Structure 1
Amino acid sequence: MEPVERLYLDALTEEAAVPERSLRPQLLAGARARRRPAAPTAPWAEPYAGRVAAMDALLASAVDDDWAREIVEGWTLQELVAHLAAKDGLLAASVGAPVLGPALGATDAMGRTHEVQEYERARSPEQTRRDWRAQADALCRHLAGLSPRDMATVDGIDGALGDHVLARGLETWIHTDDAASVAGIRLPHPVAAHVEPTADLCARLLPWTMLLSGIDGAGRTLHLTLTGPGGGEWMMPLGVRDAAPGDPDASITADVIEFCFLLGGRRPPETFPAELSGDLDLARDVLRTAPALSGP
């Protein structure tokens, strides 16, 4: 199986991964039959496509109780999937891909989320799942003809298309984990080849998360080491306009998966497990402000 086709549902075939109350063993054969591999797309977009396939594999196993259970932000699983469809649709609109679901009215993330959630409340959970997957697949196929260096604007944020797509992959990964945690399911992480570019995006966002939190890191440099498959080392200038890093003022070493979840707002900065050295106040500021861009 190609890495991009590694579906989370494979983990559900292991006895320890099956929760007691909802994803019953007798449902697994049907769920495996309903799973679909990632849509064909550009190689640089495969981290996103892989997370879509993983979420879809998890949804294939959901029963009525799972769809009605609150996951995050007060949203049920069905409303969470509608939220993902809404944000995928905003990126699709920015690059000229088909926008599915209700007519595009609001162009901000929460406004569009409310539109799509209202539309999907009149539909069955399985229809919502198909609508979200169709939107994600349409986006993936359109990305096959584009460059990651193309520019896109989503929710008022201008940036390289490749970064927007990695952000969609990170959010889909985070929300897949949200849903799995509520269901009591243990899922494998993405393959290292997909973790690496996601971690790189998270590292490059640190100057912006600091600035958005009221801290200007101009002239300061962070040596960031992320361990585990897909990790690496970064010498990060902490000013958004800094042209190049200098000598490191502070160093942070942490697990790459945990770091991605910190940026995604799923790990408390105050207790985040990391080795710090150099300017400890600066290192703590980096960790404290890291989730600044996370949201619903």
Structure 2
Amino acid sequence: MVDLKDLLTDLTDESEDLDALVAGRPPEDWARPTPAPGWTVGHQIAHLAWTDHVALLAATDVESFLASVTSAPDPSRLVDDGAEEFLAPPPDLLARWRAGRAALAAALAAAPPGEKIPWYGTRMSPASMVTARIMETWAHGEDVADALGLVRPATVRLRHVAHLGFRTLGHGFAAHGLPVPTAPVRVELSTPDGATWAYGPADATDRVAGPVRDFCLLVTQRRHRADLALVATGPIAGAWLDVAQAFAGPPGAGREPQAGTGAVPRDGVKA
């Protein structure tokens, strides 16, 4: 089990890496379109700031959090409206994101052991909330990097995204209205330093193998399976790669294959 303090350190490091990617860039870079339809680099950071804000409400003021959910004019636009609400000139947006993520980290660090924090359609422990924030910060950071024409190296923090991706296997099927498999799946992921991260029973018939970064791109729906070096063995594993999503909520739209062009796809999903 990962210690909450260690998780919070990894969340801080993941956030600071993305912060360094955007801080000091000219306004035209913040206005670049990202793979998520209608979202610029600024929208991506605004979304993270908004999500930190509502997560802080959930952790410290449950009534206000629930009121924000029930009062939403159009629940299907909650994420887009949140990003638009928090969108601001880059210096102001950066300051708000930095303050918000620091406040959330402090609140989660102080949460009583065993507490379950309400979230959209579920309840989460503080550790699960931090893991989800790491996943989302990394995934939206990939969208930002795509918009800026950059490829970020894999870090050891991807173990959190990979673990979450494995744990949400059943959710991916359920979100798409499919029966949740009962047979186990083995996942073996190679890391840049030559290690292997493994999940699931070693004798499972259904298996997924490949680079850890590719698996994380798949479960966050940042790339289509056709553009990734993932190998699925068995019908359950094969079907999973079509529906995998590590984020909560309804099924994401996913990404279209890049068809070997090397171009960043311009349609995507906001998680």
Q: TM-score, normalised by structure 1?
A: 0.70
Q: Equivalent of 1:232, from 197, 202, 206?
A: 197
Q: In the alignment, what sits opposite 1:251? A: 207
Q: Equivalent of 1:92, from 43, 49, 56?
A: 56
- What are structure 2's unaligned runs of at least 5 residues? 62-66, 253-268
Structure 2: distance between partners of 1:154 and 1:138 = 18
> Match of 1:94, as an amino acid?
A
> Match of 2:101, as an amino acid?
A
Are 1:202 and 2:165 an aligned pair?
Answer: yes
CA gap 1:289/1:119 in 2 versus in 1, 3 angstroms = closer
Are 1:161 and 2:90 an aligned pair?
Answer: no
Shift of 1:48: 1.9
Structure 2: distance between partners of 1:285 and 1:164 = 27
CA gap 1:186/1:112 in 2 versus in 1, 3 angstroms = closer
Secondary structure of the equivalent of 1:291? coil
Superposition pairs of residues 277-296 of structure 1, within 5 angstroms:
277=233, 280-291=234-245, 293=247, 294=252, 295-296=269-270
Q: In the alignment, what sits opposite 1:73? A: 37
Q: Deviations over 1:208-256 (max 9, x none)?
A: 11222233234311111111157511116xxxxxxxxx95231111211
CA gap 1:47/1:119 in 2 versus in 1, 3 angstroms = closer
Q: In the alignment, what sits opposite 2:144? A: 179
Are 1:146 and 2:111 an aligned pair?
Answer: yes
Once structures 1 and 2 are overlaid, which stretch shifts more, 179-188 or 132-141?
179-188
Contact 2:170 2:180 in 1 (8 A): yes
Shift of 1:65: 0.8
Q: In the alignment, what sits opposite 2:64? A: none
Shift of 1:289: 1.1
Q: Deviations over 1:152-203 (max 9, x none)?
A: 222233233322221221111111121122112333333x1x2223211111
Contact 1:104 1:112 in 2 (8 A): no
Structure 1: distance between partners of 2:55 and 2:246 = 21
Contact 1:223 1:252 in 2 (8 A): yes
Contact 1:89 1:135 in 2 (8 A): yes
Q: CA RMSD in A?
A: 2.8
| Overall identity of the aligned pairs, in % | 24
Structure 1: distance between partners of 2:221 and 2:78 = 21
- What are structure 1's unaligned runs of at least 5 residues? 1-40, 98-102, 237-245
Contact 1:47 1:195 in 2 (8 A): no
> Match of 1:132, as an amino acid?
W
Q: TM-score, normalised by structure 2?
A: 0.76
Q: In the alignment, what sits opposite 1:111? A: 78
Alignment length (residue pairs): 237
Structure 1: distance between partners of 2:82 and 2:146 = 27
Contact 1:82 1:113 in 2 (8 A): no
Secondary structure of the equivalent of 1:179? helix
Are 1:53 and 2:16 an aligned pair?
Answer: yes
Structure 2: distance between partners of 1:43 and 1:292 = 21
**Bigger CA radius of gyration:** 1
Are 1:126 and 2:80 an aligned pair?
Answer: no
Q: In the alignment, what sits opposite 1:214? A: 177
CA gap 1:182/1:116 in 2 versus in 1, 3 angstroms = closer
